[in-house]
């Protein structure tokens, strides 16, 4: 019961969906359209080769969704150059290698804190939990995620890159197409509870039927994912994709939330991108 209560409190504070009620907490500090205008990668004429553990997302012009909760809001057109994106979310096991190389920090990875709440150790955080080496690294700050990607020679994906990968440059609702989300496709909230009844995240790639057209896994559910750039002078950042507490009726890939860059949540993780 404590675990269930913590999940429900956490999703409410982060603006994620763990109940059938419509979420209304939205960061309006900077419209996505303005972010899109800031950072569109330059064309690259080299032959695309995907680094290990990544897939190539081809250059495309597509309509990017800018509304967190209103599907009737207009889409805007944006061009994104090809790039490589992690096939899965970064795992505990992968992050341990960065820590061993003295390039990453494990500070407070075993706990959560949100606005107005003190840091609290949590079994929902995968770091340090036996048997969760292949689970996504969650309870990680924006800075820790960014530093890990730099260790790989990459970066966090820009929010429009993330949307291109998840939507395939089309206006389908989900990475896999138009079929409604369920637990065969994504690790989301179910009648049994968060995480399809486990009340935890799942090993990365555990829902291969929910892969995108390029084969990217877990773009919806499991953990919502930090994206760049940070907003408000580095104080806040957007996260995309929903998590283990997302309702199936609110699992469209283009839904986003925001959090303080210093916050830690069992519902937020990340994956990395690279220029190619």
pLDDT for residue 114: 76
Could you tell me which of 121, 48, 126 has the C-alpha nearest to residue 82? 48
Q: Is residue 171 part of a domain?
A: yes
Q: Quote the mean pLDDT of the chain.
A: 85
Looking at the domain assignment, is residue 229 inside a domain? yes
In a domain, 23, yes or no: no
pLDDT at 127 over 60: yes
The answer to whether position 3 is within a domain reads no
In-domain check, residue 225? yes
Residue 198 lies in a domain: yes
Taking a C-beta distance cutoff of 8 angstroms, is the pair 217, 210 a contact? yes
Which percentage of the chain shows pLDDT scores above 90?
A: 69
Is the pLDDT assigned to residue 4 strictly greater than 70?
Answer: no
Tell me how far the alpha carbon of residue 144 is from its chain's centroid. Answer: 14
More confident residue, 256 or 140: 140
pLDDT digits (tens, 9 = 90+) for 65-113: 654 445 456 667 889 999 999 999 999 999 999 999 999 999 999 999 8
Number of domains in the chain: 1
The pLDDT of residue 103 is: 97
- With contact defined as beta carbons under 8 Å apart, do 110 and 118 qualify? no
CA 145 to chain centre: 11
| pLDDT over 80 at 25, yes or no | no
- In CATH, what number is assigned to the domain containing residue 80? 3.90.1580.10
Report yes or no on 217 lying in a domain: yes
Q: What is the pLDDT of residues 91-102, one digit of tens each?
A: 999 999 999 999
Tokens read off for 154:
């990459």
The most confident of 27-41, 58-72, 231-245, by mean pLDDT: 231-245
Mean pLDDT, residues 205-234 taken together: 96
User: Under a CB-based contact definition with an 8 Å cutoff, are residues 215 and 55 in contact?
Assistant: yes
Q: How far is CA 135 from CA 62, 71, 90, in A?
A: 32, 31, 8
Distances from the Cα of 225 to the Cα of 45, 48, 65, 162, angstroms: 29, 24, 17, 9
> Domain of 219?
31-39+54-275
20 alpha carbon, distance to own chain's centre: 21
Q: Is residue 1 part of a domain?
A: no
Instruction: State the Cα–Cα distance between residues 5 and 28, nearest whole angstrom.
Output: 28
36/164: higher pLDDT = 164
């Amino acid at each position: 019961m404590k675990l269930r209560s913590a999940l429900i409190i956490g999703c409410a504070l982060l603006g994620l969906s763990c109940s059938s009620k419509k979420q209304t907490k939205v960061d309006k500090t900077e419209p996505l359209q303005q972010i899109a205008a800031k950072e569109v990668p330059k064309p690259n004429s080299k032959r695309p080769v995907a680094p290990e553990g990544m897939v190539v997302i081809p250059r495309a012009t597509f309509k990017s969704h800018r509304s967190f909760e209103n599907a009737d809001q207009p889409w805007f057109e944006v061009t994104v150059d090809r790039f490589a994106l992690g096939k899965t979310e970064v795992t505990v096991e992968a992050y341990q290698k960065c820590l061993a190389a003295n390039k990453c920090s494990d500070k407070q990875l075993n706990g959560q804190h949100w606005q107005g709440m003190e840091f609290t150790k949590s079994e929902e955080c995968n770091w340090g939990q036996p048997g969760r080496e292949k689970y996504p690294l969650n309870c990680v700050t924006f800075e820790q995620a960014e530093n890990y990607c730099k260790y790989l020679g990459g970066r966090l994906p820009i929010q429009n890159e993330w949307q291109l990968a998840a939507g395939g440059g089309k206006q389908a609702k989900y990475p896999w197409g138009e079929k409604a989300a369920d637990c065969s496709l994504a690790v989301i909230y179910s009648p049994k509870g968060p995480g399809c009844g486990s009340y935890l995240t799942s090993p990365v790639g555990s829902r291969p039927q929910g892969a995108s057209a390029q084969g990217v896994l877990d773009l919806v559910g499991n953990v919502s994912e930090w994206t760049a750039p940070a907003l408000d002078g580095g104080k806040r950042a957007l996260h995309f994709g929903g998590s283990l507490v997302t309702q199936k009726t609110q699992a469209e890939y283009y839904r986003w939330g925001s959090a303080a860059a210093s916050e830690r949540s069992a519902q937020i993780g990340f994956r990395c991108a690279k220029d190619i």
